[in-house]
Amino acid sequence: MIALSPERAAEIIELRQQANYWRAQHQRAVQREAAWRQKAGELERTTREQAAQIRQLSGQIEALKARLALLSRQVFGRKSEKTDDSQEGSCDGEAEGPSASGASSVPQRQRGKQPGAKGYGRRRRTNLPVVEIFHDLPEAQKRCPICGKPFLVFAGTEDCEELDWEVHLVRRVHHRVRYLRSCSCQGGRGILTAPVAAKLIPKGMFSVGFWVRLLMEKYLLQRPLHRVLQMLALEGLDVSQGTLTGALRRIGELAEPVYALILERNRSARHWHMDETRWMIFAELEGKVGHRWWLWVAVTGDTCVYLLDPSRSAEVPRRHLGEDAQGIISADRYSAYKALGDKLLIAFCWAHLRRDFLRIRDGYRQLRVWADGWLEHINGMFARNAKRLAVRSEPGAFAMEDQGLREAANAMAEKREAELADESLHRAQRKALLSMRVHWEGLLLFIDNPDIAMDNNESERRLRNPVVGRKNYYGSGAVWSGMLAAMMFTIMQTLLMNHLSPLAWLRAYFEACAQNGGRPPEHIDAFLPWRLCEHQKTAWRYPSPCATGPP
């Protein structure tokens, strides 16, 4: 063993101490590095999460801005989709020129009569009854103011006319003549009296005309019953609401056979326009939570049926049409219609597809040009189909237009798939294009079936009148009242579809019920719009040729 000098031993000890010190420092540095690496990882993960959250929130904000633009357009914008009001729904509030939104700078033709066009002149209402009123000069003005000699009556009169609107209630008193026998024949009655006047409600105080007017006010003009009572009170008739509602329930029983026959006629069709809207029933129903029911509409060529049901499920149209129903339903993209089975094809509405791109155009400023491009394609499909239908009686021209329509549809599909392949596509764009792809087969049903409309506007229009009633009187207070509303909506709208006056038809039908002792007539088929004779069609036709049409 080598002996070390004290100095060398002290140096070695110092070096060992330094080595232990730096070894400990290195260990601490390694630990600090690991801790900082851990913190850096945690910060990186937090940053990524925050960035993802920011992207998610930015997308939500962008979607909310688009939603705000849509709601602003619905509340404050023009109601027609034919006009360019994309600037009204702009979420940034900046006004832009036509080139920014893709709209044409050519001014569109205004609706109605154009300035400078020749008018039609005042219409002579020869169909209205005439009341002649003669006006004469006062006696003092029938003489010459200078000499006092009387004026001579000149041949003819100077005429002008005015239209008056008279509403008045009449109290009819039926005097039944009585006869006393003057013979002594056995078995005869002593006093004979004329028959009792026929009434819709036996022993009721109101005439058939009264009930018809009430039904028109409530279920066609959509006036709440309490407002009708106010109007009657202004005319001098004070009647309780309970008196009217009790009789309306009885009237519903008289209308039910007609409703059933219209339902049967509607089921026998092969094409239906269908839609639904909410309808409130303020009555408790076992198993039903809340008061929201649904009013369904099914429109065919000559019928318009309303179905009131607590459910919005596919069971409602399935139950109405039957399990073995076959045909085509024009509808929106609501999932209930897609669950009706393979026998019923769904022709999806191009107007709803168009609205997808309208929402994008109005809600996303950076996507307006893209949305306008797709709107131009969709508008072109409508135009091509209109040209095709205009030459349907000419096989050659129809075939050429039909081929052009099919080529335009194929071009749209190719454009859609090319854009969906772009991974940088905005999520609003991708959502609209994916919806188009999913519903594409149903969207093209109108091509092979020219009788099928491209949109479902017919059913939406037929729901407008009941929706006005829902807004005016909030729905129905009882289930029977809601069913009566569905029946009357069905009868009146079916009559209007067949160009018949609900006022004239209801009066004739309920007169027949009154003649039958307050029961439905035995031959109800004679009142069905599609089985009327020419005399009935003429007597009950929708009277005014200048009316805006059935509501």
Tens-digit pLDDT profile for residues 425-472: 999 999 999 999 999 999 999 999 999 999 999 999 999 999 999 999
Model pLDDT, residue 433? 97
pLDDT in tens, 201-232: 988 899 999 999 999 999 999 999 999 999 99
Token couple for 542? 């929708």
Model pLDDT, residue 293? 96
Token couple for 278? 């909410």
Position with higher pLDDT, 492 vs 204: 492
What is this structure's pTM? 0.81
d(CA 524, CA 531): 10
Provide the residue range defining the domain that includes 364.
350-441
**Are the C-beta atoms of 493 and 462 separated by less than 8 Å?**
yes
Number of residues assigned to the chain: 551
Alpha carbon distances (Å) from 437 to 24, 58, 422, 450:
67, 27, 15, 22
Q: Would 367 be classed as within a structural domain?
A: yes
pLDDT in tens, 506-549: 999 999 999 999 999 999 999 999 999 999 999 999 876 444 44
pLDDT in tens, 265-291: 999 999 999 999 999 999 988 888 899
Model pLDDT, residue 1? 60
The model's confidence at residue 87, banded by pLDDT at 50, 70 and 90, is very low
Mean pLDDT of 318-343: 94
**Are the C-beta atoms of 291 and 482 separated by less than 8 Å?**
no
d(CA 106, CA 95): 18
**Are the C-beta atoms of 290 and 518 separated by less than 8 Å?**
no
Taking all residues of the chain, what is their mean pLDDT, rounded to a whole number? 88
pLDDT in tens, 1-57: 667 788 888 888 888 888 888 889 999 999 999 999 899 988 988 888 888 888 888
Name residue 236's beta-bridge partners. none
Q: Would 36 be classed as within a structural domain?
A: no
DSSP β-ladder status, 292-299 and 304-309: antiparallel
Burial class (CB in 10 A: 0-12, 13-18, 19+), 291: middle
d(CA 122, CA 131): 19
d(CA 457, CA 420): 29
Token couple for 86? 């994309």
Model pLDDT, residue 99? 38
pLDDT at 389 > cutoff 90? yes
d(CA 402, CA 286): 54
Q: Would 413 be classed as within a structural domain?
A: yes
Mean pLDDT of 350-362: 94
d(CA 391, CA 400): 10
In the chain, the number of structural domains is 1
Token couple for 517? 């002792």
User: Comparing 56-60, 385-389, 455-459, 471-475, which segment has the lowest mean pLDDT?
Assistant: 56-60
SS3 of 434-482: HHHHHCHHHHCHHHHCCCCCCCCHHHHHHHHHHHHHHHHHCCECCHHHH
- Residue 412's nearest CA partner among 373, 448, 449 is 373
The model's confidence at residue 94, banded by pLDDT at 50, 70 and 90, is very low
Q: Map residue 256 onto helix, strand or coil.
A: helix
**436 CB-side CA count, 13 A:** 27
Helix axes 368-390, 395-420, angle to 10 degrees: 160
